Amino acid sequence: LYFFYSSSPSRALCTLRMLRQVLHEGLRTSFSKLGHFVANHPVFFASAPVLISILLGSSFSHYRVEENVEYLLAPKHSLAKIEGNLVDSLFPVNRSKHTLYSDLQTPGRYGRVIVTSSARGSILDQHHVDLILKLHGLVTKIQVHMNGFNYTFAHMCILDDNKSCIVDDILRVLEELRAARFANRTGGAVRYPITYLRDGREVYIGHQLGGVQSPGKVQVKHAEAVQLTYYLQAVNSLNDVVAAKWETKFCETVERFQQANGELKMYPFTSSSLQGDFQKTSKVSERPLITSLALCVALAVLFCSMRDCVRTKPWLGLLAVVTMSLAMLTSAGIINLTGGKYNSTFLGIPFIVLGHGLCGTFEMLSSWRRTREDQHVKERAAAVFADCMLPFTASTAMYMVTFGIGASPFTNIEAVRVFCRNTCISVFFNYLYILTFYGSNLVFTGYLENNYQHNIFCKKVPKPELLQQKPAWYRFLMYTQYNEEGAESADMNAYEGHLLVSFMKRYYCDWITNTYVKPFVVLFYLVYISFALMGYLQVSEGSDLSNVVATETSTIAYTTAQQKYFSNYSPVIGFYIYESIEYWNASVQEDVLEYTKGFVRISWFESYLNYLRKLNMTTGLPKRNFTELLRNAFLKLPQFCHFSDDIIFARRAGGEVDVVASRMFLVAKTTENKREEMYILLDTLRKLSLTSKVKFIIFNPSFVYMDRYASSLGAPLKNSCISALFLLFFSAFLVADSLINIWVTLVVVSVEFGVIGFITLWKVELDCISMLCLIYGLNYTIDSCAPLISTFVLGRDFTRTKWVKITLERHGVSMLQSYLCYTASLLPLAAVPSNLTRTLFRCLFLTAFISFFHCLAILPIMLTFLPPSKKKRKEKKPAENREEIECVEIVDSTRVVDQITTV
């Protein structure tokens, strides 16, 4: 201890490096013993995973589907949900007078249809008006048979104060136009976005009449679309079942009507359309997923095959995919038994497990090729475990940490949390099954190889002199290279018959390290960084729910039509004043009008002030007079009586009536970037509510999806990156050389930066699917580059260029095999008609391609002229040997001491 603490810092660092090397060798020894143990019991480790998978996977046949899309995709803890609860307590959802309309989500059950004209005529033409009213009549006559009773829209609709079904105001406008035409008189002028009915009532039709070419206070001359919404009651389970069946028949009625009337084009949508279209991705992905599995199996078998019938390993390629399938089946059974529910985002989990498993299995196979054939199978298996299991275990631990952070209760989006939790389970079993099932099958094929048996037919291969006496077809099937002496050089030459091994060793290693190639690779990397930066600066959030549904669905068609015809105005925003204020005070009136300035307003307050002005009265009345006129005069008029639902009166202790809460409705003028503008508007109004004199809240059902979406979405990725970097930093004291972790961190940062930039250029927004892929990108990069970096950094006695070649010869083939199999399995996803799988394919493909580009091009070039330096280490070893010799000589003779001192 005295020697350690009193020594120089360089000697302390050297001692620390020795301790890390001791720990590294200790772990290698442990995995070597584990390999011996698996090789001693191959039958048990081959059969146990299969039995466990069958037992647990059988429960997956009764899996359940998560039907609540809002529960999955909306942030769990958001201010919008708190505001929504407060709004419901003050003003229960009553769409009778003012529809709280949202193009994303509307509470309760409803059926909605956008009607457009196939020709160029206006939707307000006589013929089109008659067709729309005819469609309305058919919808109201839809019958649902349940428990011996036929339910119609009249039985399930929401009723107004007169016990009549509530319908959209645009229908009354169309009925008035038709009535005026039948009476042979000029119809009233239809204004936009606020118009007036014949009874004098002011109504907002901005979300019911679309494609208006002459907006303003003048008469609408041409409109392209009409939107109708039918709201249903769902107060109990029976009503909900009946309403769900009514929605199905509603869509069928609209489709039949469109077939009979080709001049109209219709886009139906219901409250359950989003849920059905979200789950439809799983159905349309079945065949492509089977194709992906078939392609992966075919390429895995091909890449594990050789001309040599003894050293070929086609069964190991097949069993690698079987191992991952067993792990997926086991984890699916566990998820089902623990009450988990399936949703379409789980489609990404098999590809994460596949990427993780392919790296591990092909690395084990590559390590097997480097073992000596004259060794016993158990010794070869132990050497493979000692060589591969340490980096594979470290990368698996990184999976568990990064996805474990995403699965924690701190994750605010349920779909992300559930996905990360199930990914952790799948990756964990994938690791165990590769360790046991795949390792035991490696032992079985090892016995076949050591006994010179055919690796497919298991028949003993005759020796060359006997094989020459057989027919040509027999010699072709039984071709092998006999190495009876078992020299190491002969072993390596035997495996060079593998196409990828030969390509990597004879051509690629020399080409990539060529002095004339390096400048072009560096230049290409600078171009890569430039494009990645350009995309990174254009990153946009993607909270649009159409990004997670199948493309050929009613949700996409309806959303497209909604954006085309009804993007002029934002969703109706509820402006709720939740405390008693001095409405009669002139300064308070100015404040309220100032807060709502710039919006299209549907407001009892503004209408009441205009009413007072028309009576030639001042708006600054005494409190009692202001309230009495509001209750007994203004709200009694037919054109204003609908505002009574927007005001809450309370009687004070002295008998005086006061307005304790009220609501108004605001609509903002928007452009094509409607969603981005809504983010800014929501943030601005929230800040204003904190600083204003009037205490108010704003709410729309769509705010549940928008509110805190960016922070909720980015939190799992940010936490995973921080945990990954922390783990890399902490493990720098455990690995044999801290430079390994430094290089791994740099490569991970470069890959993640590139993936974010290029997915943006490929028109992928940052939503929950792309964020999960970015978390996976951390781990896939570490899986790919860690073995290569570790081998290079720990190399001794040769130059950097030589060690780059050695490293590529050892690990380049496994990386190439893994990449080709993985990308081939991803290709069928590109053909799936779904936005979810489109995002999944683009993110995973870019992750694999950029990681491959770094590992086989950028990293080998950078390592040839950046630390660690191999030359210094080469010169250091003789010096250490000389120091040891001198110490021995000092003990032997004092005369030698004098000679050393002189030197």
The candidate with the shortest Cα–Cα distance to 271, out of 392, 116, 95, 402, is 95
Domain locations in the chain as residue ranges: 12-62+305-479, 107-270, 493-565+735-868, 573-703
- Going by pLDDT thresholds of 50, 70 and 90, the confidence category of residue 153 is very high
Pairing of strands 109-117, 264-270: antiparallel
- In this structure, of 153-157, 538-542, 748-752, the range with the lowest mean pLDDT score is 538-542
The amino acid that residue 778 corresponds to is L
Give the per-residue pLDDT at 879: 42
The amino acid that residue 345 corresponds to is T
Q: What CATH superfamily classification does 493-565+735-868 receive?
A: Multidrug efflux transporter AcrB transmembrane domain (1.20.1640.10)
What contacts 27, CB < 8 A, 6 or more positions away?
Answer: 390
Query: For tokens 């690395």, what's the residue?
Result: 363
- Residue 313: DSSP 8-state: -
The C-alpha angle with vertex 824 and arms to 512 and 553, in degrees rounded to 5, equals 135
pLDDT beyond 50 at 6: no
pLDDT beyond 60 at 486: no
Q: What is the mean pLDDT of residues 129-150?
A: 92
pLDDT beyond 60 at 761: yes
Q: What is the mean pLDDT of residues 833-842?
A: 94
The mean predicted confidence, pLDDT, of the chain is: 85
* Secondary structure (3-state) at 102: coil
Give the per-residue pLDDT at 461: 87
> Cβ atoms within 10 A of the Cβ of 37, count?
15
Q: pLDDT of 625-639, one tens digit each?
A: 999 999 999 999 988
Q: pLDDT of 581-611, one tens digit each?
A: 999 999 999 999 998 888 888 889 999 999 9
- Going by pLDDT thresholds of 50, 70 and 90, the confidence category of residue 878 is very low
The amino acid that residue 529 corresponds to is I
Pairing of strands 696-699, 194-196: unpaired
Fold annotation for 12-62+305-479: Multidrug efflux transporter AcrB transmembrane fold (1.20.1640)
Q: Which two tokens stand for residue 844?
A: 């995973």
d(CA 658, CA 651): 6
Q: Which two tokens stand for residue 211?
A: 């494609």
Q: pLDDT of 489-541, one tens digit each?
A: 444 567 777 888 889 988 999 999 999 999 999 999 999 999 999 999 998 87
- Residue 602: DSSP 8-state: E
CB-facing half-sphere around the CA of 352: CA atoms within 13 A: 32
- Going by pLDDT thresholds of 50, 70 and 90, the confidence category of residue 431 is very high
What pTM was computed for the model?
0.86
d(CA 53, CA 432): 12
| Rounded alpha-carbon distances, angstroms, from residue 310 to 373, 459, 480 | 11, 10, 6
pLDDT beyond 80 at 130: yes
Fold agreement (12-62+305-479, 493-565+735-868): yes
Give the per-residue pLDDT at 882: 41
The residue that leads in pLDDT, 370 or 59, is 370
Q: Which two tokens stand for residue 209?
A: 């009449």
Q: pLDDT of 50-73, one tens digit each?
A: 999 999 988 877 788 888 887 888
Give the per-residue pLDDT at 870: 72
Give the per-residue pLDDT at 767: 84
The residue that leads in pLDDT, 408 or 350, is 350
